[in-house]
Amino acid sequence: MMSMNHAPLSILAACAAAATAIGPATAGADNGKAKAEMCVACHGENGISATENVPSLASQPDLFLQWQLIFFRSGARKNEAMEPIAGQLNNEDVRDLGAYFASLKPADASSVKAPDDHPELVKAGQQAAAAGRCASCHGDNYAGNKAAARIAGQREEYIIKALHDYKAGVRSGGGVAAMAEVAYPLSDDDIAALAHYLSRL
């Protein structure tokens, strides 16, 4: 784990529980596919969400997926829809689901996004992403890296919600307060531009 000096107790508890929970799936992604049937109603076919405020899971890093399920299960990450679902998952389920959704292809921006009629927002988003050094943690092309989410191709309104949640301290994330520090100085305009740009990658 990274430094946890400022992590709330609930996160520390989640991390302690996760020390034994997080790991590679023993049977690869195959077990996860069957278990993921109960996720389709909200997260969509093949992990690509067609529902407002529900994130796509396809092609998220395995580690990011496992951590978020552990956070929901422990209550460190609050959500009425996810907490009861994660509460039913054992450690093996968490690993299988992580492996499965990580193995899926990401949403094809050209097929799921509305045509872009705001080139100035794309440019502003690109600049804000460079200024915020988002790629240093989220990886090349924002495709995600370890515990840092894929943000390329995520639903626009969900990116906005997530950034507001970090900014307001509603969502704290694991280990260090990385995203809280990143989100705090962002204005509503920055957030709108970032979401517009990233969701269309």
Segment interacting with ligand HEC, rule: CB under 6 A, options 10-18, 22-30, 114-122, 145-153 = 145-153
Q: How far is the CB of 182 from ligand HEC (least distance, A)?
A: 4
| 123 contacts ligand HEC (rule: CB under 6 A) | no
Distance CA 57, CA 98 (A): 9
What are the CA-CA distances from residue 46 to residues 58, 105, 108, 116, 121 (Å)? 7, 8, 12, 24, 29
Q: Is residue 43 at the binding interface for ligand HEC, with CB under 6 A as the rule?
A: yes
Does 85 contact ligand HEC by CB under 6 A? yes
Interface with ligand HEC, residue 160, by CB under 6 A: no
173: which 2 tokens? 């994330």
42 binds ligand HEC (CB under 6 A): yes
Say whether residue 65 binds ligand HEC (CB under 6 A).
yes
Choose among 174, 5, 149: nearest CA to 77: 174
* Residues 124, 76: Cα–Cα separation, whole Å: 33
CB of 25 to ligand HEC, least distance (A): 13
| Cβ 175 vs Cβ 4: under 8 Å | yes
Maximum distance among all Cα pairs of the chain, rounded to whole angstroms: 48
- Label residue 180 exposed, middle or buried (CB < 10 Å: 0-12, 13-18, 19+): middle
Q: Shortest Cβ distance from residue 80 to ligand HEC (Å)?
A: 8
Smallest distance from ligand HEC to CB 163, Å: 5
Stretch that binds ligand HEC, among 6-14, 16-24, 74-82, 113-121 (CB under 6 A): 74-82
Closest CA to 100 of 1, 33, 164: 33
Q: Which of 21, 25, 54, 121 binds ligand HEC (CB under 6 A)?
A: 54
Residues in the site for ligand HEC, rule: CB under 6 A? 36, 38-39, 41-43, 53-55, 57, 65, 67-69, 79, 81-82, 85, 97, 129, 132-134, 136-138, 147-149, 151, 154, 159, 161-163, 171, 173-174, 178-179, 182, 194
